[in-house]
Amino acid sequence: MARQNVSSGRPWEASCGFSRAVRIGNVVEVSLTTPTAPDGSILYPNDVYRQTRESLRIIEAALAEAGASLSDVIRTAMYLKDMRDWEAAGRAHGEVFGKIRPVTGWIGVSGFFTDGIVAEVSATAIIQPKSRSKRTRAGRAPRRRAVRRRQ
């Protein structure tokens, strides 16, 4: 299977040797995502809610480049500097995934690579194949009626 690496263009991806996302087959893994601008500056320092939302926006863009969408996400993980902020991160996550409802978890960490970051998010997506035929509610293809020819 072919491998597709996706970059967000953040400065440390090349220097640290990682991709924002990697797709192999129908699986897309999105790395731990920081709330950063393309120049590497930290967005919304010390604001868990806004950093979670920004990380999810960056994840959505990486998924799109890999041919996936938020509706393909089956797992997320939220990393927080202070676990007392889980509700703010959860609120941001719920606004994005409220109807999709992937599995998730919160992980407390002692810190991130630079000051101001208080939340990061990672995700896994599985792209579902598109159906070629119309499906009924039961998930079966509709029956075709036999056409009788007149003789």
136 within some domain: no
Share of the chain above pLDDT 90, in %: 75
28, containing H or E segment: strand 27-33
80 within some domain: yes
Average per-residue pLDDT for the chain: 90
**Domain extent for 115:** 3-126
60 within some domain: yes
What pLDDT was estimated at residue 13?
Answer: 87
pTM for the complete prediction? 0.84
Sheet of strand 21-24, all strands in order from the earlier edge strand to the far edge: 3-6, 21-24, 27-33, 119-126, 73-80, 106-108
8 within some domain: yes
What is the mean pLDDT of the segment spanning 112-125?
96
132 within some domain: no
**How many structural domains compose the chain?**
1
148 within some domain: no
What is the mean pLDDT of the segment spanning 108-112?
95
Pair 128, 72: CB distance under 8 Å: yes
Angle (CA) 52-75-24 rounded to 5° is 110
29 within some domain: yes
69 within some domain: yes
Angle (CA) 127-76-8 rounded to 5° is 75
Could you tell me the CATH number of the domain that includes residue 32? Answer: 3.30.1330.40
Q: Has residue 132 got a pLDDT over 60?
A: no
Say which residue the tokens 């159906």 belong to.
Answer: 131
